[in-house]
Structure 1
Amino acid sequence: MDVADLKKMLQKIGFYKGVIDEELAQSISVFQENYGVTPIDGTAGPKTLSKLSEVIKQKNMDFSER
């Protein structure tokens, strides 16, 4: 998964509204905190990506829409 995909996923569920920089890291940290993903470090590791995919599925969002 690339950064653009991650950005789109976070945008779809309201956690990212900006450019790819420190704001993205902060958006990831907020997501991690809200969904209990540890460590809360602003990086999109395996646990964060797994939880993000789970949330997208739970909200019945089609990530493949481009």
Structure 2
Amino acid sequence: MARHRKQPVPTAPSAPPRPARARSRLAAGLAGASAVAATLLVLTVNPAAPPAPDRMPDGGAAEHP
């Protein structure tokens, strides 16, 4: 008669932490927060000086004859 080993007690599988996934989620969250902060900053801050009279307000160069 063969002897059998005692079967191990089943335990809940513990998944090892995935630092790469956490790192990518953190990077995505920080990029999103940075974009929101930049947008709010642009919308709330007034320019330091008015545009020069010889420049167009959209940033393009004015055509002179």
For the criterion TM > 0.5, the same-fold answer is no
TM-score when normalising by structure 2: 0.25
Higher relative contact order (CA closer than 8 Å, sequence separation 6+): 1
Q: TM-score, normalised by structure 1?
A: 0.25
Structure 1 or 2: more helix by fraction = 1
Report the structure number with the largest CA radius of gyration. Answer: 2
